[in-house]
Amino acid sequence: MTLDPQAKWVLDIAKEKGLPTLDELSAEDAKAAYEERAIALSFKGIDIGKSIDLKIPGPLGDIPVRIYHPLGMEAPLPVLVYYHGGGWVVGSPNTHDSLCRKIANSGPFVVVSVDYRMGPEHPFPAAVNDAYAALNWCVDHIADYDGDASRIAVGGDSAGGNLSAVVCLVAREEKTYMPKFQWLIYPGTDMRMNSRSHETFADGYFLTRSLMTYFRKHYLQNPDDKMDWRASPLLAVSLAGLPPALVQTAGFDPLQDEGKAYAERMKKEGSNAHLTHYAGMLHGFINLGGVIDQASNCIDEGVAALRKAFS
């Protein structure tokens, strides 16, 4: 297995510039640094029909969301509720703005990007509660924004993939609206961080063991939280009765084994899951579309799966 040359270039540039890793920074500085770095390497010049910033009611205050209407939109369209990555600590709709624009246009879909609360200011389970509230708000109100409330899916990368999986588990437990599909892009599913890939790729490929430990420290309130299925969906008693999923993993990513394990358990327990492995990629590549060509392939696969689920 060989690291893709474009992925290697991203690592080399960071090293040449001497950029500090996020875990070397305070949470506040890490948020600002990630914002700058993500936007610099994301897709450029993606036009959109319309984007709408608003605040929706949440369990402990308003939740900012950004709603995207694709170019040439003919209402109503199916809806993707998107949860950005960033270790439940960094990231925002701004860091994933170009990605959400591309998804909306490619669908075409209405995309709702959720600015859920994050650590350390708002530790677990604040992000879960906001993610679930945003899904249910869409069920009740997305028709007002030309979305089809009967066709809603969830998706996200990394921490956002985790939240997408957890939201579906919560919906099953609460017997509320179940998303039609879950798009899980290199999701975190097991906070114990004890898989073989966590050992193999502990250092050198952006998402290191040190950075994962940093994120976990800022997100979870106590050590026992890592055993809670709302933090570690792989530890849920059952993965039956869930909507179909596309799970995409990356080859140079400590999270790959837990993503694979989640897909395998879903299939074993009667839920439909398809696993795709991007062998030469590193964690975070879908949001590096400005410099990594495989990001577009990953998006195209996810969009095709969503179209099939919505049809």
Give bridge partners of residue 114 from the DSSP assignment: 65, 83
Measured distance CA(108)–CA(295) in Å, rounded: 18
Please state the pTM of the whole predicted model: 0.98
DSSP classification of residue 48: -
Residue 1 confidence (pLDDT) = 79
Distances (CA, A) of 87 to 37, 222, 282: 15, 16, 15
Give the helix/strand (H/E) hosting 245: strand 245-252
Mean pLDDT by 10 residues, the chain (311 residues): 95 92 97 95 96 96 98 95 98 98 98 98 98 98 98 98 98 98 98 97 96 98 96 98 98 98 98 98 97 98 98 94
- Cβ proximity of 206 and 284 under 8 Å: yes
Range of the domain at 228: 5-310
> Side-chain half-sphere of 35: how many Cα atoms within 13 Å?
10
- CA nearest to 148, candidates 200, 110, 101: 110
Torsion, Cα 257 218 284 204, to 10 degrees, reads -70
Name the one residue in this structure whose structure tokens are 């109503």: 76
Residue 242 confidence (pLDDT) = 98
Measured distance CA(103)–CA(82) in Å, rounded: 10
Catalytic residue annotation: 158, 253, 283
Residue 190 confidence (pLDDT) = 98
DSSP classification of residue 19: P
Distances (CA, A) of 187 to 103, 156, 251, 254: 18, 8, 13, 11
- Cβ proximity of 249 and 187 under 8 Å: no
Torsion, Cα 156 144 78 296, to 10 degrees, reads -50
Give the helix/strand (H/E) hosting 130: helix 126-141
Q: Residue 97's CB: how many other CB atoms inside 10 A?
A: 21
- Cβ proximity of 81 and 155 under 8 Å: yes
Looking at residue 146, which CATH number applies to its domain? 3.40.50.1820
Total count of domains within the chain = 1
The set of residues, in sequence order, having a beta carbon less than 8 Å from that of 106 and lying 6+ positions away, is 299, 300, 303
- Tell me the two tokens of residue 181: 């599909």
Upstream peptide bond of 93 is cis (omega within 30 degrees of 0) = no
Residue 102 confidence (pLDDT) = 98
Interior angle at CA 207, CA 203 and CA 209, nearest 5:
55
Measured distance CA(10)–CA(186) in Å, rounded: 18
Upstream peptide bond of 20 is cis (omega within 30 degrees of 0) = no
Measured distance CA(262)–CA(273) in Å, rounded: 9
Distance from the first to the final alpha carbon of the chain: 36
Upstream peptide bond of 187 is cis (omega within 30 degrees of 0) = no
Measured distance CA(80)–CA(214) in Å, rounded: 29
